[in-house]
Amino acid sequence: MKRILVDVMGGDNAPLELIKGAYAAKCEYDAEYILIGAEAQIREAAKEENIPLEGFSIVHAPTVITMEDDATCVVRTKTDSSMAIGLKMLASGEGDAFVSTGNTGALFTGASLIVRKVSGIRRPAIGAILPMTPPVLLIDSGANISVTPEYLEQFAIMGSAYMKKIHGVASPRVGLLNNGAEDCKGTELQIESYKLLSSNPDINFVGNIEGDRVMRDACDVLVTDGFSGNILLKTMEGMGKLTLTTLKELFMTNAETKFAALLLKKQIDSIKKSFDGTELGGAPMLGISKPVIKAHGSSKAKAFKNAIRQAIAYSDSELTSDITALAKALNERKKAQT
Amino acid sequence: MKRILVDVMGGDNAPLELIKGAYAAKCEYDAEYILIGAEAQIREAAKEENIPLEGFSIVHAPTVITMEDDATCVVRTKTDSSMAIGLKMLASGEGDAFVSTGNTGALFTGASLIVRKVSGIRRPAIGAILPMTPPVLLIDSGANISVTPEYLEQFAIMGSAYMKKIHGVASPRVGLLNNGAEDCKGTELQIESYKLLSSNPDINFVGNIEGDRVMRDACDVLVTDGFSGNILLKTMEGMGKLTLTTLKELFMTNAETKFAALLLKKQIDSIKKSFDGTELGGAPMLGISKPVIKAHGSSKAKAFKNAIRQAIAYSDSELTSDITALAKALNERKKAQT
C-alpha cells in the first residue's frame, strides 16, 4: 500500500479543507495517509467538523511556508515547516508521494534540492493539466523562466511519458507553443527547439502551436518555457472566470433569464466543471526522482482529494523509472552523435 | 475632409466584404474613400452585389500580397500590390490613413520602410485592442519578437498617447505583462523594464500584470514583447471561441435548452459581441509617422467598417505629432541623464 505524505498547511484553505480532502481520499482510495502540519490545529479543525482522524498518521510541523516566503526558505530558515518535513520524509523513503498546496517556488526548490532530480534530467519542470477535452499537459507551466532548447526537449520527453502513463495516451502528440505555425517562427529558443523536437525519434512532434489552437485538440503535450507557460495558463484561467461571471450576470438579468437558467441547470453545471479544472487534480513536478504534486493554492476539499488521487496514480505508475530510462537513452544518443 | 486609403485585397474575405465595409463606412462617416485593388475584380464584385461605386476613387493594383508571402515582398517583389501602392500613396501624401486586412508582417515591414517611423522611436509596434470592458491596448501584439526595456518604455508612451487620444482615457494605467506581481518577477527583460517604467514620470505605471488580471480592469495599456503578446492575444481568442462553441452546444442539447436559448437571445447576442472584438476596429501601428490600421484577416464588412472608422479617428487626432513630441522629450531627458 502506498504511503501518501499530505501537507495540510499552506494554500488559501488550510488546514480544514485539506483535511476534508484527505478524509474524502481516504474513504475512496486505498493508501496510507500521513498528514503533516501543526498537530494541535489539525486536531482542532477535525474535531470542529467531526472528521474522524483514526487511521491517519499525523506528523507535527511547527512552521508553515507562506506565499510571501522566499523559495529558498524551505532549505534555509523553515526546515521545520510542513513542506520541508514532507519532502525530507519523501527523500528518506518514509513515504511514496508528496502532495502540497503551498508556495510553488518553495515546493519546486525543495523538491529539486531535497528529493533531488532524476539522474540525466537537466531541469525538472512543473506540468499543468489544462482542462480541455481531451486534457493537455502544459510543460513548463511556470517553474523555469529561462530555458534552453535542450531543456525543452527533455520537457517533451517527460511530458509524453506522463500522458502515456497517467492519462493512457498511446503516442502523445507534442506541440511547441509559438507565435505562428511555420518552423521559422519565434525567438532563437523556439527555432532551435523546433529542430531538436522534430529530429528526436522518441517524440511525436506535431509542430508549432499557437495560443488559439491549444483548445482545439491540437496536441497532448504543450512544451514551452515557464514564462510563456505562465502567461498562457493565467490567461486561460482569467478567461474561464470571465466566462462564468458573464454567464452568471446573463442569467440574473430578469425573471425570464432566471427561468431559462433553471432549464439549463444541468448543462451550466457541466460548463462550470469544464472551465474550473479542479477535477483534474494538481500539477506534477516532472523530473523529480519521486512523485511530488502541487495542488492549486485555492484548492478546496474536492480539488485536494483529486490531487491526492493523482499522487497515488503517479506513485503506482512506473513513471519515474520510465523518465530515468528515457533521459539515459537521450543522453547516450547525444553523446554518440558528438 | 480626410482621404482614407482602403486596401480591398488580402485577408479571407476580399474583395467583396471589404467593399461592403467601405461602402457602409462611406454612408456613415464623412471622408474621401480611395479603394486600392484589382479594378476589374472590384467592379465585378460591386456589380454582383449592387454596391454603388459612385463617390469612390479606385486605384488599380495588379498584384496582391498573400498570407504565405514573405514580409519583405512589399518592398521587393510585390511593389505593385494593393498594400505597397497604398503605403506609397500614404507616404507621398496622396492619402491621410491606410487600412488593410493583409499579411501583418508585410504591412508592418511596409509601414516601417515606406511610410517610415516617427523620429526618435526605436521600433514601431502593433497595438491590439482587447475586447474587455473597458478596452485594453496590448502593445506589442506580435510585431517585435525580440525587444529591449527601452523599446517597452516607448511602447508604454505610445500606448498611453493612443488610449488618451482615441479612447479618451485621461491618465491611462500602464501594466507590464509578467508571471507574477513582484518587481523581481520575469526574465531580465521584465526586471529591467519594470525599473524604467516605474521611474518614468510620464508613465502612469501600475506594476506587473499577470494573465488572469488582464480581464479584470487592471490597466488600460498592457506592455509586452511581441512573442508573449501574441500568446496572450491568441489564447484569449481561442478561449473566446471555445466559450461560444460550448454555449452553442449547451443550447442545442434538447427541446428545453432550445427554449431557454430563445428566452436568452438578447443576452447571448451581447455575449457574442463582447467576446468577438470586431466592434473595436483594427490594430493601430504605433510609431509609424502616419496612421496605418491593420484589420483582422478574417474581417467581414462590419469589422472592416469599424477599422475604417478607427483610421478616420486616428487621422483626425493629433496622435502622430503627440508621439513625436513625447519621443523627443524622452530622448532629451535620457541624454541629459547620461
Half-sphere exposure of B166 (CA within 13 A, CB side): 30
Q: What superfamily would CATH give domain B127-277? A: Isopropylmalate Dehydrogenase (3.40.718.10)
pLDDT of the residue at B276: 65
For residue A18, with 0-12 CB atoms within 10 Å meaning exposed, 13-18 middle and 19 or more buried, which class applies?
buried
Task: Please provide the average confidence, as pLDDT, over all residues in chain B.
Answer: 94
Check whether B278 has a pLDDT greater than 70.
no
Pairing of strands A32-37, A3-7: parallel
Q: Out of A17-21, A125-129, A244-248, A308-312, which region has the weakest mean confidence (pLDDT)?
A: A244-248
Each domain of chain A, given as residue ranges in start order, spans 1-121+287-317, 127-280
B173-177 and B128-130: which strand pairing? unpaired
User: Whole-model pTM?
Assistant: 0.94
- pLDDT, tens only, B56-89: 999 999 999 998 899 999 999 999 999 999 999 9
Partners of A218 on chain B (C-beta within 8 Å) are none
| Rounded Cα distance, B20 and B84, in Å | 22
Q: Say if B213 is an interface residue toward chain A (CB within 8 Å).
A: yes
CA dihedral B5, B6, B10, B14 (to 10 degrees): -160
Q: What residues contact residue B312 under an 8 Å CB cut-off, 6+ apart?
A: B2, B4, B29, B31, B97
Q: Do domains A1-121+287-317 and A127-280 have the same CATH topology?
A: yes
Q: What is the pLDDT of residues B282-301, one digit of tens each?
A: 899 999 999 999 999 989 99
pLDDT in tens, A180-236: 999 999 999 999 999 999 999 999 999 999 999 999 999 999 999 999 999 999 999
Encode pLDDT of A59-95 as tens digits.
Answer: 999 999 998 999 999 999 999 999 999 999 999 999 9
Average pLDDT over residues B1-22: 95
Mutate to test the interface with A, among B267, B271, B275 (most CBs of A within 10 A): B267
Using the beta-carbon criterion (under 8 Å), do B227 and A145 form an inter-chain contact? no
Measured distance CA(B14)–CA(B21) in Å, rounded? 11
Residue in A closest to B215 by C-alpha: A238
A positions 44-103 inside 8 Å of B (CB): none
Q: What is the architecture of the domain spanning B3-121+287-323?
A: 3-Layer(aba) Sandwich (3.40)
Does B273 have pLDDT greater than 80?
Answer: no
* B186 torsion bin: left (phi>0), alpha (psi -120 to 50), beta (else): left
**CATH code reported for the domain at A127-280:** 3.40.718.10
Yes or no: is domain A1-121+287-317 CATH 3.40.718.10?
Answer: yes
Contact B312, B97 (CB under 8 A): yes
> CB contact, 8 Å: B221 with chain A?
no
pLDDT of residue B271: 77
Contact B51, B19 (CB under 8 A): yes
**Dihedral of the CA atoms B17, B18, B19, B25 (nearest 10)?**
110
Helical pair A226-251 and B226-251, crossing angle rounded to 10 deg: 30
Q: ipTM for the complex? A: 0.93
What pLDDT score does A279 carry?
62
Our CA-based measurement puts residue A239 at a distance from the nearest CA of chain B, in whole angstroms, of 6
Closest CB to A231: pick one of B145, B215, B228: B228
B contact test, residue of A136, A239, A268 with most B CBs within 10 A: A239
Residue pairs spanning A and B at CB distance below 8 A: 140
A264–B257 CB contact, under 8 Å: yes
In chain B, % of residues over pLDDT 90: 83
Q: For A273-325, what is each residue's pLDDT tens digit?
A: 776 666 667 899 999 999 999 999 989 999 999 999 999 999 999 899 999 99
Per-residue pLDDT, A278:
61
